[in-house]
């Protein structure tokens, strides 16, 4: 085992606690013989002989047949995983960043070596997502996939929604409680979701989606005003990873989204994650559960280890399913979407017609409107939902509002999924 943090300690505990039932299922005992850590002297509740700071010694140990990589990040995790595979060891990893960046290469290597490389824990914590996509749903052409894949941001958005609090307030509360990191960038700016949806898209479409091709927006700009308008209009705001085929290409994006309250993902709250997908034969399928944390993530790691053990017991050739790199992608600019806009403007009675005209000239029609203050000649807020429009048209329309129409500020624009 490489790493003994939240996930590693959970996986170790699960292997111990459920040893008897796991042995019954696999016909073999999974034994953790060595754990690689940064500081071998740190007081832990396990014998200190188990630990070493020499991670290479584990990956090079001929007595060890399987490596659980639970360090995270690409360095040294990537080098160690590659070395393990080259040394003929099966690998189980929880590393979304590594798989998003180097998945294609690593899975090809595992396949060539007839080894297992499983990474169920990389996406959705304990929720089975990756293997069902690879296996039970493999016959489908995936027509759309949307996921709430980051527990921290879903916790923050849910708290904002339920308590009417602002982003900064909820974030510091989440940090105090340990639900958000001191540097929350990876979560709140959508990097974590980007890695995860990129991994899922690569499996669903059979070729690796480069993370540079994923359109990414985080949730820092979401205000309690947006939350309130969403509620009034029948929506909740969720940070979604979304992918969909566009001809032979795929568009992958991460952004806050207006989602109808009645959508199955609309009630996935707090630290829960969920994945909804639409396949051409299966129709709508939905998975949800705890997407992070020690125990749920351990569940996925141990499930993968059990599969490795079973495969070794029957002397199987490994079941790594390789996918090629360089999935062609479609940019966000060609997206057809509905949009929410919140603007602040003076003298609304006069400006309203101008706004509708300026947007209409760019191909964006207004479908619904809410106003907050209704004192004439004072500055007030107006909120619109548009009809379907092309992203590039919408951006031009938004630019025209401040440039031509006299809107003092466009406070927020958020895409709407219906």
Smallest CA-to-CA distance from 398 within 353, 342, 349 is with 342
Q: Is the peptide bond before 298 cis (omega within 30 degrees of 0)?
A: no
Question: Looking at 5, 25, 371, 408, which residue binds its own copies (CB under 8 A)?
Answer: 25
CB nearer its own copies, residue 56 or residue 141? 141
Taking the C-alpha atoms of residue 209 and residue 213, their distance in angstroms, rounded to an integer, is 7
Q: Of the candidates 46, 285, 352, 356, which one interacts with its own copies according to CB under 8 A?
A: 285
- For residue 383, the cross-strand partners are 342, 370
Contact residue for its own copies among 61, 65, 82, 132 (CB under 8 A): 132
If binding is defined by CB under 8 A, does position 360 make contact with its own copies? no
Q: Pick one of 191, 195, 258, 287: the residue that binds its own copies (CB under 8 A).
A: 287
Residues 54-113, interacting with its own copies (CB under 8 A): none
Binding to its own copies by residue 406, rule CB under 8 A?
Answer: no
In the complex with its own copies, the residue whose CB is nearer, 146 or 351, is 146
Alpha-carbon distance of 15 to 179, in angstroms, equals 25
Residue 16 binds its own copies (CB under 8 A): no
Listed in order, strand segments (DSSP E) in 193-296 are: 215-216, 235-246, 249-260, 272-279, 283-290
Q: Verify binding: residue 330, its own copies, rule CB under 8 A.
A: no
To its own copies, the closest distance from the beta carbon of 395 in angstroms equals: 34
Backbone φ, ψ for residue 178 (5° rounding): 85, 10
Query: Residue 413 interacts with its own copies (CB under 8 A)?
Result: no
Distance CA 405, CA 304 (A): 58
Return the residue matching tokens 């994006």: 253
**CA distances, 213 to each of 159, 197, 210, 330, 390 (Å):** 31, 12, 5, 8, 19
- Can the peptide bond before residue 326 be classed as cis, meaning omega within 30 degrees of 0? no
The distance of closest approach from Cβ of residue 58 to its own copies in the complex, given in angstroms and rounded to an integer, is 22
Q: Assess 202 for contact with its own copies (CB under 8 A).
A: no
Q: Are 12 and 32 in contact (CB under 8 A)?
A: yes
Under rule CB under 8 A, residue 296 binds its own copies: yes
Helix and strand totals (H; E) in the chain: 14, 16
Catalytic residue among 177, 196, 261, 354: 196
CA separation (Å) from 22 to 10, 70, 94, 173, 407?
A: 15, 20, 20, 39, 64
Helix or strand or coil: residue 342?
Answer: strand
363 binds its own copies (CB under 8 A): no
Nearest distance in Å: CB 42, its own copies: 24
Among 138, 165, 356, 366, binds its own copies (CB under 8 A): 138
| 196 tagged catalytic | yes
If we measure between CA atoms, which residue out of 123, 292, 286 comes closest to residue 195? 123
Total residues contacting its own copies (rule CB under 8 A)? Answer: 57
| 325 touches its own copies by CB under 8 A | no
d(CA 210, CA 197): 11
The single residue among 40, 52, 74, 264 that binds its own copies, judged by CB under 8 A, is 264
Assess 17 for contact with its own copies (CB under 8 A). yes
Binding mask 302-321 for its own copies (x = CB under 8 A): xxxxxx--x---xxxxxx-x
Q: What is the set of active-site residues?
A: 196
Chain positions contacting its own copies, by CB under 8 A: 10, 14-15, 17-18, 21-22, 24-25, 114, 120, 126-128, 131-132, 135-141, 206, 264, 267, 279-290, 295-296, 298-300, 302-307, 310, 314-319, 321
């Amino acid at each position: 085992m490489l790493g003994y943090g939240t996930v590693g300690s959970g996986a170790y505990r699960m292997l111990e606690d459920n040893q008897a039932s796991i042995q019954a299922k696999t016909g073999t005992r999974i034994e953790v013989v060595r754990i690689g850590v940064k500081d071998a002297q740190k007081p832990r509740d396990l014998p200190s002989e188990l630990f070493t700071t020499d991670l290479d010694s584990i990956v090079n140990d001929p007595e060890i047949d399987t490596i659980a990589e639970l360090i995270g990040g690409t360095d040294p995790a990537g080098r160690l995983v590659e070395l393990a595979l080259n040394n003929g060891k099966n690998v189980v990893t929880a590393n979304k960043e590594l798989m998003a960046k180097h998945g294609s290469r690593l899975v090809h290597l595992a396949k060539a070596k007839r080894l297992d490389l499983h990474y169920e824990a990389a996406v959705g914590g304990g929720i089975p997502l990756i293997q069902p996509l690879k296996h039970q749903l493999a016959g489908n052409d995936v027509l759309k996939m949307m996921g709430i894949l980051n527990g921290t941001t879903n916790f923050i958005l849910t708290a904002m929604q339920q308590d009417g609090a602002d982003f900064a307030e909820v974030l510091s509360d989440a940090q105090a409680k340990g639900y958000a990191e001191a540097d929350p960038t990876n979560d709140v700016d959508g990097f974590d979701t980007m890695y995860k949806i990129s991994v899922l898209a690569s499996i669903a479409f059979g070729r690796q989606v480069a993370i540079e091709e994923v359109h990414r927006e985080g949730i820092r700009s979401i205000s309690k005003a947006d939350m309130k308008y969403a509620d009034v209009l029948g929506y909740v705001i969720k940070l979604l990873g979304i992918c969909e085929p566009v001809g032979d290409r795929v568009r992958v994006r991460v952004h806050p989204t207006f989602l109808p309250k009645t959508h199955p993902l609309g009630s996935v709250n707090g630290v829960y994650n969920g994945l909804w997908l639409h396949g051409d034969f299966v129709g709508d399928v939905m998975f949800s559960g705890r997407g992070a944390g020690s125990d749920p993530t351990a569940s996925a790691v141990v499930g993968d280890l059990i599969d490795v053990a079973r495969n070794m017991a029957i002397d199987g050739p490994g079941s790594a399913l390789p996918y090629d790199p360089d999935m062609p992608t479609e940019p966000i600019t060609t997206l057809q979407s509905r949009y929410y806009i919140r603007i602040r403007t003076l003298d609304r009675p006069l400006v309203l017609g101008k706004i509708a005209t300026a947007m209409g000239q760019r191909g964006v029609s207004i479908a619904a409107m809410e106003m907050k203050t209704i004192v004439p000649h004072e500055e007030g807020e107006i909120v619109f939902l548009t009809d379907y429009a092309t992203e590039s048209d919408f951006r031009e329309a938004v630019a025209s509002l401040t440039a031509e129409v006299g809107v003092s500020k466009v406070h927020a624009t958020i895409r709407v999924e219906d």
